[in-house]
Amino acid sequence: MKLIKSTCVLAAALTAPGMALAGELPNNESMSGLQFNFSPPGARSLAMGGAFLGRADDATAAFANPAGLTNLFSPEISAEVRFNSYDTPYTSGGSYPGVTRDRASDNANNLSYLSFVYPGEKWVFAAFRQEFMDFKSSFETDEIPLADTGFTAFSTDNNVDVNIVNYGFSTALRVNERFSLGASFSYFDYKLDASTLRYGLGPSDPVNEQLQRGRDNSWGWSIGALFNATDRFSIGLVYRATPDFSTEHSQDAFEFPEINFTRDFDFEVPDVYGIGFSFQPNDNLTLNLDVMRVNYSDLASPVFWAFSDPASANGQEIVDEMSIDNGTEIHFGAEYVMKNKPIALRAGVWHDPDHALTYYGPTDASDAEQLANAAFFPAQDSQTHWSVGFGFFFEHFQMDFGADFSKNQDTVSVSGVYRF
C-alpha cells in the first residue's frame, strides 16, 4: 500500500530528513545537510588549516582572536574573496533499510571579508564585514518504501539558502610586552529561505509543502587573549558568543487546510571557544595548532515536530530521540617563509566533526515513522580537511592564495592587504 493524497499528512511525516538549524529545529528535508564552517577568514589562515588563534598577526584577527590586533603596528585595509563548492550528502532513494545516499552540488561565491585596522600606542581598533555563513543546497528525493510497514515516503523537491553577514567592531589592549586582551562586537544580518515540496503521484500531484523563512538582525560578541610566552612561542584564547534569529515554519497540506499551521522558532548559531598555540623553531618556519570546541547542540535544543502543532504523541517521542552532538575541531598548519625571497609557503590539516542532526531512537519494524527518521537522519562521518597555499609580501602590500579540500566542501580563497 502506498500513501497518497488521502493520507498525505502521515506520508509527509514519514519524509523527515536532517536539518541543522538552531535553538529549535524542525525535522524537515530541505536543510538535512546544513553546513557551518567556523574557520577564520583570510586566505593565509585557510592555507594553514584554519590554525590561527595563537598567531593572530594580521587583520583577520579582528574576528579570529581580537587580542592579536596588537601585533599590527600600521594602519591597513584587507579584503578576501572566497569560492565555495558544496557537496552535501542526503538520502536520495532506495528502500529502508537499504537506502541510497547521494550528494547535492552547489556553489556560493562572495566577498567574504573586508576590514580596516588602526593601531595606536597601546590600543588597536578595527572595523570589518564578514560573510559569516553563505550556504546553498538543492536536491530531489525519490519515493522510499519503509521496510514491510506498507508505508512509503513521498518524493520531494528541496531548496535551502542561508546567508548571515557579520558587521563587526574590534578593539585590543596591549597590557604589557607579553600579554594582550581583545574584544569584538558584531551586528548580524540573517536571511533564510528553505522549502520542501512533497508529491503523491509525481510532479503534477503536490500534496504538502513546508517553508522556513527568516529575516532578522541580532548582536553577538567575542573576547580573546594572547600571551607571548617567549619571542618564539605564543598562546591564544577566544570565546565567541553568537546570536539566535527569529524564523517562521509553515505547513500547507493543500487539500487538507484544517491541518495547516504556522509557528515561530529560533535559529541559533553555535557558540565557539578555543585555544591556540604558535611556535617558531627558527626565523623561517611557524607551526600553529588550534583546538576549538563548537556547541553544535545549540542547533537543536530542542527538535520540534514539523508536521503538526502540537506534535502527535509518537512524533514527540521521535524528535526527543534526535540531537546534534557538540564537536571538537583540531587545526594544524605551517608557514615557511623562503630565505631572501618575499614568498611564503603554507599547508595544513584539520578535523571537522560530524554535526548532522541524527536520530538515535529505536527502529521498530512496524513503526514507519521511526524507520523514516532512521533513514533520513543517519549518523554521518567526520571530515578531514587538507589545505595548501602561498603568499607574496612587500613593504606595503601582501597577496595570499589558499585552498581547503574535503568531501563535503572545497574552498578557494584570494586575499590582499595594503599597509599605509
CA distance linking residue 296 with residue 318, whole number of Å? 20
Confidence of residue 23 (pLDDT cuts 50, 70, 90): low
As a whole number of Å, the end-to-end CA separation of the chain is: 73
**Confidence at residue 183, expressed as pLDDT on a 0 to 100 scale:** 98
pLDDT 10s digits, 108-126? 999 999 999 999 989 999 9
- Where in the chain are the domains? 5-419
Least reliable range by pLDDT among 9-18, 26-35, 227-236: 9-18
Residue 9 reports pLDDT greater than 80: no
* Distances in whole angstroms, Cα of residue 333 to Cα of each of 60, 213, 416: 16, 39, 20
CA distance linking residue 373 with residue 351, whole number of Å? 27
- Please identify, in words, the CATH class of the domain defined by 5-419: mainly beta
DSSP class of residue 64 equals: H
User: Side chain identity at 58, as an amino acid letter?
Assistant: D
Residue 267 reports pLDDT greater than 70: yes
**Confidence at residue 54, expressed as pLDDT on a 0 to 100 scale:** 96
C-alpha cell at 327: 564537536
Residue 305 reports pLDDT greater than 50: yes
Which string of DSSP letters, residue by residue, matches 199-213? ESSSTT-EEEEEEEE
Is 277 within 8 Å of 289 (Cβ atoms)? Answer: yes
Mean pLDDT of the chain: 89
CA distance linking residue 310 with residue 294, whole number of Å? 31
∠ Cα 367 368 374 (to 5°): 100
**Mean pLDDT score, 381-390:** 96
**Confidence at residue 55, expressed as pLDDT on a 0 to 100 scale:** 96
CA distance linking residue 44 with residue 416, whole number of Å? 10
Rank 20-24, 33-37, 166-170, 356-360 by mean pLDDT and report only the highest.
Answer: 166-170
pLDDT 10s digits, 344-375? 999 999 999 988 888 898 888 888 888 888 88
pLDDT 10s digits, 169-203? 999 999 999 999 999 999 999 999 999 998 887 77
